Every structure is written in structure tokens, then in C-alpha cells.
Structure 1
């Protein structure tokens, strides 16, 4: 069993799904403190003004306390879906797959759920299906694992991997400093790190802005090419990217 663990994010960037494509078991790490101005309830999309590059699209919150966990937070009663569609509308005649991407947005956000964590988990499950990804999903807050003592941030993933009986754990490379490899080795779990493959793609007559929401990737590339880009960044045990493996089409 190869495990990946991430917080549920709102329409995250391509690398999130490349990591998901690299494992067979995915854990939504939702029973943890909400980080204000992070990626849980917002992400980046193109700005109409090329000089400004990008803007945020945001799910408004009904209010939160300083130490609230993601699972505690409710979404505000507001037409944020309509606002985001308005923010994207300047791309209607520019992005070739605009309508296809908006259909995916509608499919993933057409929910009556107002708990932020549950809403995000469901939207990401739907996105994974759209992108032809099918890991086994677990939600931390529903699992009721007995994780035992956790002495530092890097041990959360270790304890969850141990509960699942994982043979390996894959984490984004940017978080490598959180982990103590000797702890994973002592538990018989291989620790590896994923580097995203973010290929530049045309965004109309403007400089390329990397790292935007998966919605931007879909608008400019379409579903089939986006699926290919997800697989192109798949981590392989031999260290090659999925795009370099001889068995990849």
C-alpha cells in the first residue's frame, strides 16, 4: 500500500493530483487546525489584467475562531459560486475549453453541504473521478484511528501510515524538512518525496502564470490533455516521472 496524505484544498493546483496519481491510498487530513489565508478555502486563477497575473477565488466562511479545525468550519450563505463564475467570465472567448472547465466546476460544487471539510472532500472525490484517478479514499476525521503520541509534525503521516499498514509514504518535496527518515525506517515504511511536473501551457496572449488552480489547466488544455499532465507527474519507484516510463502511453 502506497499512501499520500494531504489536507483537502479548494480546486488545488496540478501537483496535488499528480501526487494523488502516484499512490493507491489517499487520506484527507482534515482534523487539523485551519490555516488562515492558506489553500483550504481559496486558490489562484488568472486575473483579467495580465500585469497583475492572478487573483484569488475564495469560498467565504461563516466565521471561525483562532484554533478551529477544518472540520469545525462552516461555509457562508453567499453566492460565491456565481462570484467565481463571474471572475472567470473574461476567459469565455479566450480559453478553448472554458465551457468544459465550468461544467467540471459546477459538477464539483453542486452540493448542499455547508461544512467546509465535508464539502471539500466531496468536491475532490468528484474531481478525482473526472481526472480518472481512483485511489482508496480515507477521511481522517471519520477514521477514528488510535494514532498514539505525536511528538512533532512529521509524525502525523507516520502514525496514519502505520494504522493503514502502508509499505510506503509519499509526501510533497516541499515538506521534506518535517520528517525524520529514521522513524519511517524503524517502522518498515519507505519514505519518498514527490516533485511536481508543471509544464508551461498557452494561456492566450499573455505570459504564462504557473501553479494556478486545476480549473485553469482544464480551461486551456481540456480534459484529455489535463489527464495526461496529471499522469506525466506521477512518481515512480525508480525515481523517474510517469512521462519517462516505458509503459506509459
Structure 2
């Protein structure tokens, strides 16, 4: 009976989050327009500037827009995962989070339900972007085994970034502070990664500090896992970095939403 109750709560929370997101048409449109504009405009403008050599996971030369496609999938996951913290902060200010977290269920289970809802929405938006990209002529490899691996990598990346969003929502006290915090996190994570340029290119041009920062950036490993999975190649340590970051962020978020800590944070936020 307790398991049935937990599963019912999981279903209710995921369903609520998805329905709320579907009503926010502007957010859904922005989630698609942002990477599509990068694909259609940025890639076209820099196609002749950034040459992609034959390095893993590629067996031949590829156009630049095909290279950045996994990075733009990562962009969808990154923005949606971290923007999910906005909903958490809003719910906290409205008192909804307090009601949710006082439910007779383990707090990690409730936060896991919120995380799964974010990941499912991110995955749906990423698949929608892949479809739009195909219409624009950027067709990703579609081998069945590689495609399943890429879906698993995308889901893991969505969970990792959603867990990071959960963790940030613990520390973002008010909605007014949200934009600055998100810009401070999103843009460094995205630009200090391999979403737009390969690591060897950074090292070759002498940007060693950017190269080293990209190596330590977990978002880099999420993008690389997707990229290598699409071509059926071994992603190396990338899955371990992504899954380890996911576990760490989720554990820290659960600790942050501890009853005593959460109450103190809510009082400071309302002060």
C-alpha cells in the first residue's frame, strides 16, 4: 500500500509539472527557437571558420552544423534543467513547496519526482529540436543501437542538469535573484564546453585555460557522451562524470531541502 501511495504521488507530481509546462507556450517556443536559431544562423556564419578534423568519434569530415548539433541538444537540456529551479523558487515563495515537502513521503522521493518531471520535459524538447533540425537539413545518425545509447545519454544529461537546478533552487532565495544566478551558471557552463568547438581546437589555438576549464566542466562530458553515443563510439569517462555529478547534486539538494535547513532558508527568503 505504501509503494502504491509513493507511485501515485510520483505520477501526480510528474503530471502536474508537465501540464504546467505545456501551458507555458512561450517557454516551450523559446526552448525550440533558441537552438534552432543557433543552428540556422550561428552554424551558417561560422561554417567556414571552424573546420572539424577527422577525430573521434568521426570517421570522416563533417559539416560544422552536424558537429554542434549534440551541443545544441545539450543547450536544450541545460536551459530547461536550470530554469526548473525557477519553478521551485516560485513554488517556495507561494508556499506550495512547503505543502509538498510536508507530505507523508520521504523527501528524496518527492524531489526525485520533481527531477523526473524536469528530465522528461527536457527529453521531449530535445527530441522536438532534433526533428526541427532534420527539417533544416541537419540529420543525425539513426542507427538503432546508437540511437538508444544516445537517448540514454540525453536522459542522463537531463537528469544531471535537473539535479543541478534542484541544488541551485536551495540557494536562490528570491525570484529577483534568479536571472543573475542563472546567467552566472548557464553561460559559463555552455561556452566553457565542447558544445561549439572541440577540445583539440582550444588547445591548438593556445586557449589553455579554456581547454582546462572545459575538461572539468560536467556539461562537456554530457555533450561528449551524446556525441559519441550517436556515432556508436566509446564515450570513455563521460558517463561516469555525468552520473557522478547527478548523484552529488541530488544528494546535496536533498540535504538542502532538509526540514530544518529548508525552514531557515524560507524564513530568510521571506525576510
Q: TM-score, normalised by structure 2?
A: 0.24
Q: TM-score, normalised by structure 1?
A: 0.25
Higher helix share: 2
Higher strand share: 1
